[in-house]
Every structure is written in C-alpha cells, then in structure tokens.
Amino acid sequence: MSGSDGGGDDAWRFGTRAVHAGLTPDPTYGSVIPAIHQTSTFAQRAVGEFVEDYDYARSANPTRSALELALGVLEGGLGSAFSSGMAAIHALITAVCSAGDHVVMPADLYGGTYRLMDKVLTRFGLTYTLVDQTDLDAVAAAVTETTRVVWVETPTNPMLNVVDIPEIVERARGAFVAVDNTFATPVNQRPLELGADAAVHSVTKYLGGHSDTVGGAVVVRDPAVHEQVRFVQNAIGAVPGPFDCFLVHRGLRTLHLRMAAHAAAAEAVVGFLRGAPGVSDVRWPGFSGMVSFRHPDAIGIAGRARLFTLAESLGGVESLIEVPQAMTHQSVEGSAAAVPADLVRLSCGVEAPEDLVEDLRAAIAGAP
Ligand SMILES: *Cc1c(COP(=O)(O)O)cnc(C)c1O
C-alpha cells in the first residue's frame, strides 16, 4: 500500500511533513485517515498478549500515538500528548525535577505557568526565580548549582518579547532548557534544533488551530527523558481523549498554511496600528498572528470590536481580542510578572486582513 510510514522522510520540507506526519492508511480498510479509536481498553488474545503497548487507553491509544508521532516529527524529537497545555507543562517539570531543585523562569510568561510554579510546585519543594530573559547577564546570574530547569517562553505572552534560545542554552550551565513554543510554533522556531532539550505546546492554540479543543504536548530530544515524561503521563493520567487527538492532528495538517495567513493578517493590522490615534508600543515579533499594543481605552476598544471576538485564548482561525491584565493574567497581578493595564492583545485569525483593519479602526475611533 502506498503512503508514508507516518514518521516522514528526512528530506521532506516542513509543509510536506505537516500534511503527512503520523498518518498511514488504515491496514484493514485502506481508509486514508485512520479510524478514531474511541475505546478505553483493548481485547487480549491471551493473558498479557496485546498489540504493541495497547493494553489500556490511559497508557496508550493508537489515535494518540499517531498525534504523538506527528508532534515529534514537526518539532524534531519525541512527542507526548496531554489533556491541556498546563498538563504538559506539569508533566515535563515533574518528570525532570525533584524536591530541592530550582527553576529559572521568564519574568514575562503565561500566567498559568507562573501559578503552577508559585502555588503548586513550590509546595513540593521546588524554588524558582523570575528573570527578564532578554537580559542574558541576568539569566546567567539567576542560574545556580541547584538549577535543574531553565524555562523559556518566546515570544513571551503577552509582551511578545523575543528571547535568543541558543544564548540561553549557553548560559544554562547544563541545566535542562525547556521552551514553551506555543506562540511561535515549529513553523517559525524549532527549539530542539536551537539546542534546547524540550519544546512544550498548548495545542489548544495554533497547533489545533480551530478553537475547538484543549490540549498540550511535550517534545524532547533525549529518549531517557521521553521515557520519564511517558511515565508521568501514565502515572498522573492527564491524557487527551481520542477525538481531541484527532482534531489536533487534523489541525497540524494545515499549520504551515495557517501560520502564513496569520502573519499576513498581523502585518496588515500592525501597519494600521502604528499610525492609529492614541495607540502606542505596538508589538509583533514579525511572525505569527499575535500582536499587542497599548491604548488608554484598552477595555473600551476590546468591548467595541465586533469581528475580533472578545475572548481569552489565541491561535484559532478566527480573530480574538483581550485585555490581559483583566482577563488572562490575573494570576500574575501584583507579582514581578504583572502586565500593564492599558495593554490590548490581539490574536489575528485568517480572515481578510482588510476586514480586521476596518474593525479595529472603528473600535479605536469610538474611544472617548
Ligand atoms: C494557553 C497557554 C498555555 C496553557 O495551555 P492550556 O492548553 O490552556 O492548558 C501555556 N503556555 C502558553 C504560552 C499559552 O498560551
């Protein structure tokens, strides 16, 4: 039967991998897209005799395995899928760290990651330091003998600062470098190729890409670390269901096309915002659809936008608008990771860029 073995061909370019990774025609009926294995368990031929590692669906499920293979192909490592981005982050940190270990984190990071560290993991003996990772000397100074993990987010959320991954790896003194690659996606940045040990995703965002499911992923380089992550995945049990895996896998197949369209939309929006009345500090890393800017009437603009839906999250085909300080970043309020109250964050979708610009023009024109 023709078709790839799902692992991809090393010579394939990214777009080809995105379309084919993890997918092999079903051997029974030849269906080009494999069936969704909506099952909790697997029949055994005799006691302890089952296909590959499929004995119980928390441990493994073929629909999840296909997605995990694809995630690994796209990031260039060994992938594991989780029920949310937070579950993926929790799994990686708990797989790698033990009580007494220290973690260096960005001062400007996803609020949920900060909350996990500050409110949960510190109760189990981890310590952390927040540092501005665009200041490489500060990163070097924050790494101590007990530092086990240097956590990186780039571009950062919501300030969209870009951090130089190879420079961080150089200053990590052998600590495990994990990169939250949710905003960049492997289309724009592949952390493992840049020397990091792990890439993490909220696949809820660009990888799934359609705002229809919540999920997470960890991709690591080292097979021993991969085994530890899989051990935690099974032991803690924050696994995604088969249908969610199917949705994310379908999303991956158009990732390269969507990321190009998101960037084109963001470029048009940024072109407008840079000259718009009352707008300052327009930020866009030059790729992806994430844009932020400041305006004294941030809350009013978010309320008046119509095509941009007022909602948390990002990375879907439809455009979203939010005010981080009041919405997604409440958990960092009052901490060193706090964000300005007049900041607006946009997730530019793949609509016609002109329509997005017109919507923002009207929302900003309505400011008092
Ligand atoms: C959303 C997000 C997360 C958390 O992922 P969930 O799927 O919501 O659990 C982590 N990191 C970043 C950068 C995010 O945007």
For this structure, is 110 an active site residue? yes
CATH of the domain at 114: 3.40.640.10
Give me the pLDDT at residue 3, please.
44
Over residues 228-257, the pLDDT tens digits come to 999 999 999 999 999 999 999 999 999 999
Least confident of 16-30, 266-280, 343-357: 16-30
Domain that holds residue 220: 14-252
In a domain? residue 122:
yes
Counting the structural domains of the chain, the total is 2
Shared-domain flag, residues 215 and 352 = no
| Minimum CA distance residue for ligand 1 atom 5 | 85
Q: What is the mean pLDDT of residues 142-164?
A: 95
Spacing, Cα 329 to ligand 1 middle (Å): 12
Ligand 1 lined by 291 (C-beta under 6 Å) = no
* Same domain membership, residue 234 and residue 103: yes
- 164 catalytic residue (yes or no): no
pLDDT band at 176 (very low <50, low <70, confident <90, very high): very high
347 Cβ inside 6 Å of ligand 1: no
| DSSP β-bridge partners for residue 105 | 130
- Asked whether residue 28 is assigned to any structural domain, the reply reads yes
On whether residue 107 sits in a domain, the answer given is yes
What pLDDT was estimated at residue 349?
98
Among 55, 58, 148, 222, the active-site one is: 58
162 & 289 share domain: no
Q: Give the domain-ending residue among 206, 224, 252.
A: 252
pTM for the model: 0.95
pLDDT bucket at 1, cuts 50 / 70 / 90: very low
Same domain? 203 vs 331: no
The CB of 202 under 6 Å from ligand 1? The reply is yes
In a domain, 353, yes or no: yes
Q: Does residue 55 sit in the same domain as residue 120?
A: yes
In a domain, 4, yes or no: no
The pLDDT of 256-269, averaged and rounded, is: 98
Of the three residues 252, 268, 292, the one that is the final residue of a domain is 252
Q: Are residues 202 and 307 in the same domain?
A: no
State how far the Cα of 356 lies from the Cα of 364, in Å rounded to an integer. 12
Q: How close is the Cα of 147 to the center of ligand 1, in Å?
A: 24
Within-domain flag for 9: no
What's the CATH code of the domain at 262?
A: 3.90.1150.10
Whether 256 and 14 have beta carbons less than 8 Å apart is answered as: yes
Q: Which atom of ligand 1 is nearest to the CA of 157?
A: 13
- Hey, whose CA ends up nearest to atom 11 of ligand 1? 110
Residue to substitute in 157, 160, 210 for testing ligand 1 pocket (most ligand atoms within 8 angstroms of CB): 157
- Name the residue with higher pLDDT: 2 or 181: 181
Please indicate, yes or no, if residue 6 is contained in any of the structural domains: no
| 196 lies in the same domain as 323 | no
367 CA from centroid of ligand 1 (Å): 31
Q: What is the mean pLDDT of the chain?
A: 95
Confidence of residue 5 (pLDDT cuts 50, 70, 90): low
21 falls within a domain: yes
Q: By percentage, how much of the chain surpasses pLDDT 90? A: 89
* Domain co-membership, 189 together with 269: no
For the chain, give the percent of residues with pLDDT over 70: 98
Q: Tell me if residue 54 is catalytic.
A: no
Q: Is the pLDDT of residue 198 over 70?
A: yes
Please give the number of the atom of ligand 1 that sits closest to the Cα of 88.
9
Do 138 and 19 share a structural domain?
yes
Are 236 and 328 contained in the same domain?
Answer: no
Tens digit of pLDDT for each residue in 311-357? 999 999 999 999 999 987 777 777 766 789 999 999 999 999 999 99
Here the tokens at position 273 are 């915002």
**Residue that terminates a domain, selected from 252, 279, 294:** 252
Whether 302 and 268 share a structural domain: yes
Q: With 70 as the cut, is the pLDDT of residue 155 above it? A: yes
End-to-end CA distance of the chain: 65
Is 119 noted as a catalytic residue in this protein? no
Query: How much distance in Å is there from the Cα of 204 to the middle of ligand 1?
Result: 7
Q: Are residues 244 and 177 in the same domain?
A: yes
Cβ of 182 below 6 Å from ligand 1: yes
